[in-house]
A and B are shown apart, each in its own frame.
Chain A
Amino acid sequence: MRLEAIYEQYKDRVYNLALHYVRQPEDAAEITQDVFVKVHQHLPRFRGASGIGTWIYRITIRQCLDVLKARNRRKRRGWVVSLFQTDGQPMAIPDFQHPGVQAEHREAIHRIFHAIDQLPEKQRTALILSKLEQLGLVEIAAVLQVTPKAAESLLQRAKTNLKKHLSQNEGIG
């Protein structure tokens, strides 16, 4: 299969999944670009053990988590730097800019995403794939390389923890 054909078929799914993770159009575009470059690099070795869509989802998730880790590292470094800065300028932290969210729901959805960010990686992924990508348990299990039962349990734990985080955040707010 040619890269352009794969890109045409999966570009929107990859871009939207990246947006759900990073909520920044520029970062999501960069992730999408990196994902398809990786697909080009690894396509000759892709043996089709899983569907190509599942494989692309996995690459996207890994890429998103890497970007988020780098962002967190930057944030931590920025905090340390700010301790020694005298001008008091706070470090720029990316704002919530999800183009798929309408203005009237922005605040409420931002709050949910903030709580989702506090979940462990696998629970976060299970929740995003289920609630935002509308994938079924079997598909989520395939992406996460676990059994459907394990995926169900992950999703359940994600919901319980999300509830906890939402009530904590409410308490703070």
Chain B
Amino acid sequence: MDEELSLLKEVKPVAAPPFLWTRIEASVQHLRQEQAPAAVLWAATIGLSLNFLLTFAALWQNQPGRSTGDLTPVFYHSERLYND
């Protein structure tokens, strides 16, 4: 058994084929090209969501009666305070 296993020492290391790096570079390049449109898509989605959120927030803030409703009594009270 040990003799048979020692036969595995006869398996000599070999060099990797020289063309491999070119293939790896091409694959990596391909991956980058695939990732670029995805990044643009993400950026566009985030931009649009932010735009929608800000517009909605601004509209909500400027609803008629929302801002003035809270402020009117204050003006009223202060007017009364100084005029009386």
Contacts and interface: CB of A to CB of B under 8 A. Distances in A.
Interface in A110-125: 112
B11 interface: yes
Nearest to A11: B16
Interface stretch (B21-29, B42-50, B53-61, B73-81): B21-29
A149 interface: no
Interface in A1-40: 3-4, 7, 11-12, 14-16, 19-20, 25, 29, 32-33, 36-37, 40
Contacts, number: 76
B7 A112 contact: yes
B11 A100 contact: yes
Interface residues of A, number: 33
Contacts of B14: 12, 15-16, 19, 99-100
Contacts of A14: 16
Given A40-B31, A98-B11, A101-B11, A163 B21 contact: no
Per DSSP, chain B at the interface is helix
Given A19-B14, A40-B31, A100-B12, A112 B24 contact: no
Interface in A138-173: 159, 162-163, 166
B84 interface: no
Interface in B1-35: 1, 4-5, 7-17, 20-21, 23-24, 27-28, 31
Contacts of A4: 21
A105 interface: yes
* A14, A33, A101 pick with most chain B CB within 10 angstroms: A33
A32 to B, nearest CB: 6
B29 to A, nearest CB: 10
A109 B11 contact: yes
Given A37-B24, A40-B28, A109-B11, 7 more contacts: A12-B16, A14-B16, A32-B16, A100-B12, A162-B1, A162-B5, A166-B1
Closest 5 pairs (CB-CB, A-B) = A15-B16, A11-B16, A100-B12, A105-B10, A131-B8
